[in-house]
Structure 1
Amino acid sequence: MQGTVDGFSYGVITPIAAFVMACLGSALGLRCVTRSLRAEQSFKPGWLSLGAASIGSGIWTMHFIAMMGFQVRETPIGYDVPLTVASLAVAVLVVSVGVFIVGYRGSAPAVLITSGVITGLGVAAMHYLGMAGMSLEGQLHYDTTIVTISVVIAVVAATAALWAAVSVHGFFPSLLASLIMGVAVTGMHYTGMAAISVHLAGGAPRTGAGAFADSLPSIMFPMLLGPLVFLLLAGVVVMFDPLLILGDGEWNETPARKRETNRPELTEGPGAPGATSGTRTVPGQEPPRSYRW
């Protein structure tokens, strides 16, 4: 007997909330990776770690907020806590590998493709490991073609996000990149969910399924609380970073301007700024000043 799968039992509330969390995690993560490019070597691993944890936590939180709207009408759904926590660990660890590769190796095409594939596979592994943590009176079956499409979406989204992290310098362009990333990650989730069919064990629906579904938010909320608190703290760290408050003007410095800034102080002579060959000091007139460039 096939179960009746409903991925939107709460209407548009869960998709919108999931999308917001995906965008938040992506925005924080991209900003941290961008910030690491300007950090001293001693602080670089910290920014990259914070960025990877933000992206991983945001994607994981998106997944399980969306799953709160998923139900099989004929049977209740539970979650295996160790597997659920393991899916979070996989998301953070695998995303960290991709982020650190880009952070230390740069944005060469081969580097971006390698890190994007690793990160995208990590996102897909998180999704399907989380699905494996579901317990219900039946078996999940997946459409191989749709699963493949969902993995491709994850890899493309991860590659685009990592490219944006090292190439897009500016708050609002980064915000736009995070919105695109949020659309891609949420799309990957619902594409993967479209691949599911449920074959129920036994012929009759189990009683009490509706009551269990009503209590699902109270079961999932404690597991979501940790990542939500982390994302809040990460947001505070990013928003109070001095370079973010001061703006992005430093990114607009040209290499020539930076060389001029580092030149030693020029005082007198033909090479001094504002000085011309044969300049004389007229009585009663202030001599040319020296400037530091």
Structure 2
Amino acid sequence: MQSSYNYLLVTISFVVATLASYTALDLTGRIFMLASARLRHAWRLGGAAALGVGIWSMHFIAMLAFSLPIPLGYDFATTAYSLGLAIGASYLALFMTTQTRLTAARLGAGGVLMGGAIAGMHYSGMAAMRMEPGIDYQPAWLTLSIVIAIVASTAALWLARVLSDDDERHVLKKRFGAALIMAVAISGMHYCGMAAAGFAPGAICGAAKGINAAWLATSVILFTFAILIVTLMLSRFDARTTFLAGAVSRLNGQVLRLATLDTLTGLPNRSTLTERIERAIGSARRQRTLSAILFMDLDGFKTINDSLGHSVGDEVLSAFAQRLLQCVRASDTVARLGGDEFVVLAENLPSREAAGMLAESVLERMRQGMWTDSQPLQVMPSIGIALFPHDGDTVETLLKHADAAMYEAKRAGRGTYRFFERSMNEAATRTLRIQSALHDALAAGHFSLHFQPKFHGNGDSLAGAEALIRLHHPELGALAPLEFIPIAERSGQIVQIGNWVLRETCRQIRRWIAEGLPAMKVAINLSPRQLAQPNLVATMLAIVEDEGVSCEQIMFEITETVAMQDAPRTIEMIREFQASGFEIAIDDFGTGYSSLAYLQRFRVKQLKIDRFFTNGLDEHGTEGSAIVSAIIALAHSLEMDVVAEGVETESQLDMLKSMMCDEMQGFLLGKPLSADDFGELLRGRMVAA
């Protein structure tokens, strides 16, 4: 019997197949992202109903597009059964693709079961026509339709899983393309099945008295489109809601992280540490246990940050944080307060000694290995320890006392630890008062300069002077340089103070010249913080030129220890100073760790022998003389002058003269003098001459 098709309905059936396939892919992505098992199950049931109706409608519309020269109809019960198979196949598809793992075996089994169900839906739909005699199927086409159903189902399961991530790039376009491919496969299966069907001449349709086909086709089309579109809208709306909820949750997490953790190291920040210390105090008070606060500050970190840049500084801080976490117990809290300050909270310690052992283990670990991938930076912490309940019973008090102990560790030589002692409170208070006084000292005129004479090797003729800063505060009184200079160095105020010293020295040189006195070469000490300034030489040169003084009248002194911290950079800076007309001296020679190779490359004007070796001329006899004589011989071989500091006895003076020491200074020859008194000294030398 000859058959024909309504191509409008054929086209509509393909559109329905495409929409149903896209809905399947979208639902898979939606269900796969749900965390709740109950929601996943509910979406599978609702999605299976909508998807099943879509797939069944495609087949049913395609069946309505098919016509024979006889009236056709469909049995309601059999048609309903085919719809049930479609919904069942859809549930199976959604169930398989939304599992945590989709193995090859599950994929193959799911494809066979789903393909068989779809084929069963198609052929049960054909059986709903109740043809007499029955439909004769060609085995080859029948087999091909079943194979297409299984292959299409397997491909659909795989594509649905691959495209289940809504966050994947261009996922909607990819799903639409995959939906077109699936629609072609599903339609191909249907029309292969129809090609397999043979209708005998004179056959009749037993269900021909059913509902009008045109009205039925219109109803099914509208109903199917409504269900699929509503399902898609609900899926998209729910996905959007979930996305917004997830975004809000992630934002809350980020806000919480910013509020509780340090952004650079990921360690707890000050507020989080405060809460944990408060809890630790409460727990220790109830259980009568010991807790410790270890306050740490990285020695030399500011120099690294200023000279090598903040990126290297950040690497050092991150490396220190990670290593610190490995040094402490799992129950301890490691926090960063800011800058290069870190705190360890150690609870339930058996004794005071356990806190000391913890600090010692931290220092030992920090002495090992590389700090960053590119820079072998030796940075060590100074550690102050405060204990609860012995050293305080509040967060503020414990941190304050641990901080005070840390500064005591710095004063003790750095790279060590100290327990808090009551006397440290007085020292910390005085440190704060001095730091406050330094802020006002320049503007208020509390600083002054003294000049210590330097004499030629004969001990009689004046060779120059060394500028020494003094601070006299109206409340604190006269402060020794050894007390306020380290504080100014730590706070960074030493840079402005150093600039003032140079400017005031230049002005004093001009005053002496204006009074008709000889122009003396004056030596000025440079601090480590000054040497870390990238524009130091330019700044010094600008001050000297602004004051109208010749660069040859200024000599800058750099301590041996500071010079060797970054010897290659020191060499560059010395060359830059010398190119500008300044002379450089290495101060406190013998107390650091200079190598002869670097000493030769420095090529400075002078070496200043530390007063320790000068004192050794009397205290250590022949041995002391041999050391000083060797230093002088070494310097002369490198064409450097030698200055001996701290000459206080006639015997020291005589031995230095015999060793051909170039210059000397000390209380025996001349104490530090005010600018006016040094001018009188110059004037007296002129009269005597």
Q: TM-score, normalised by structure 2?
A: 0.35
Aligned counterparts, 1:182-261, within 5 A = 182-201=183-202, 215-222=212-219, 226-243=223-240
Determine which of 36, 56, 59 is the counterpart of 1:60.
Answer: 56
Which structure shows the bigger proportion of residues in strand conformation? 2
Compared CA separation, residues 244 and 179, structure 1 to 2 (3 A): farther
Structure 2 stretches lacking a partner, 5+ long: 166-170, 248-252, 268-310, 318-338, 341-489, 493-689
Aligned to 1:79: 74
Aligned counterparts, 1:131-150, within 5 A = 131-150=126-145
User: Would you say 1:5 and 2:6 are equivalent positions?
Assistant: no
Question: Are 2:57 and 2:220, in contact at CA under 8 Å, matched by a contact in 1?
Answer: no
Determine which of 23, 26, 40 is the counterpart of 2:21.
Answer: 26
Determine which of 107, 119, 130 is the counterpart of 1:124.
Answer: 119
Aligned to 1:108: 103
The one-letter code sitting in structure 2 at the alignment partner of 1:154 is: A
**Alpha-carbon distance between aligned partners in 2 of 1:61 and 1:214, rounded to the nearest angstrom:** 16
User: Would you say 1:172 and 2:173 are equivalent positions?
Assistant: yes
The one-letter code sitting in structure 2 at the alignment partner of 1:15 is: V
Aligned to 1:289: none
**Alpha-carbon distance between aligned partners in 1 of 2:491 and 2:111, rounded to the nearest angstrom:** 67
Question: Are 2:137 and 2:197, in contact at CA under 8 Å, matched by a contact in 1?
Answer: yes
Determine which of 66, 69, 72 is the counterpart of 1:70.
Answer: 66
Q: SS of the residue aligned with 1:106?
A: coil
Q: How far off is 1:154 after superposition? A: 0.7
Determine which of 82, 92, 104 is the counterpart of 1:97.
Answer: 92
Compared CA separation, residues 268 and 219, structure 1 to 2 (3 A): closer
Compared CA separation, residues 87 and 224, structure 1 to 2 (3 A): farther
Aligned to 1:256: none
Q: SS of the residue aligned with 1:43?
A: helix
Q: SS of the residue aligned with 1:237?
A: helix
Question: Are 1:28 and 1:234, in contact at CA under 8 Å, matched by a contact in 2?
Answer: yes
Compared CA separation, residues 161 and 78, structure 1 to 2 (3 A): same
The one-letter code sitting in structure 1 at the alignment partner of 2:67 is: Q
**Alpha-carbon distance between aligned partners in 2 of 1:48 and 1:201, rounded to the nearest angstrom:** 46
**Alpha-carbon distance between aligned partners in 2 of 1:155 and 1:262, rounded to the nearest angstrom:** 50
Compared CA separation, residues 76 and 100, structure 1 to 2 (3 A): same
Structure whose alpha-carbon radius of gyration is higher? 2
Structure 1 stretches lacking a partner, 5+ long: 251-259, 284-293
Q: How far off is 1:230 after superposition? A: 2.0
Task: Tell me how large the CA RMSD over aligned residues is.
Answer: 3.5
Q: How far off is 1:195 after superposition? A: 0.5
**Alpha-carbon distance between aligned partners in 1 of 2:40 and 2:189, rounded to the nearest angstrom:** 30
**Alpha-carbon distance between aligned partners in 1 of 2:242 and 2:13, rounded to the nearest angstrom:** 28
**Alpha-carbon distance between aligned partners in 2 of 1:180 and 1:193, rounded to the nearest angstrom:** 20
Question: Are 1:91 and 1:123, in contact at CA under 8 Å, matched by a contact in 2?
Answer: yes
Q: SS of the residue aligned with 1:40?
A: coil
**Alpha-carbon distance between aligned partners in 2 of 1:112 and 1:269, rounded to the nearest angstrom:** 46
Q: How far off is 1:239 after superposition? A: 3.1
The one-letter code sitting in structure 2 at the alignment partner of 1:5 is: S
Q: How far off is 1:269 after superposition? A: 7.4
Compared CA separation, residues 166 and 214, structure 1 to 2 (3 A): closer
**Alpha-carbon distance between aligned partners in 2 of 1:79 and 1:139, rounded to the nearest angstrom:** 14
**Alpha-carbon distance between aligned partners in 1 of 2:114 and 2:76, rounded to the nearest angstrom:** 24
The one-letter code sitting in structure 2 at the alignment partner of 1:144 is: P
Question: Are 2:56 and 2:86, in contact at CA under 8 Å, matched by a contact in 1?
Answer: yes
Q: TM-score, normalised by structure 1?
A: 0.77
Q: Percent identity?
A: 31
Aligned to 1:267: 262
**Alpha-carbon distance between aligned partners in 2 of 1:180 and 1:268, rounded to the nearest angstrom:** 48
Which structure shows the bigger proportion of residues in helix conformation? 1
Question: Are 1:106 and 1:166, in contact at CA under 8 Å, matched by a contact in 2?
Answer: no
Aligned to 2:615: none
Q: How far off is 1:262 after superposition? A: 12
Q: How far off is 1:216 after superposition? A: 1.9
Q: How far off is 1:219 after superposition? A: 3.6
Compared CA separation, residues 282 and 97, structure 1 to 2 (3 A): farther
Q: SS of the residue aligned with 1:22?
A: helix
For residues 198-229 of structure 1, give each alpha carbon's deviation from its aligned partner in whole angstroms, at most 9, with x where no partner exists.
11347xx99xx9xx999421244445554443
**Alpha-carbon distance between aligned partners in 2 of 1:25 and 1:246, rounded to the nearest angstrom:** 24
Compared CA separation, residues 80 and 213, structure 1 to 2 (3 A): closer
Q: SS of the residue aligned with 1:139?
A: coil
**Alpha-carbon distance between aligned partners in 2 of 1:35 and 1:99, rounded to the nearest angstrom:** 11
Higher relative contact order (CA 8 A, sep 6+): 1
The one-letter code sitting in structure 2 at the alignment partner of 1:181 is: M
**Alpha-carbon distance between aligned partners in 2 of 1:87 and 1:45, rounded to the nearest angstrom:** 23
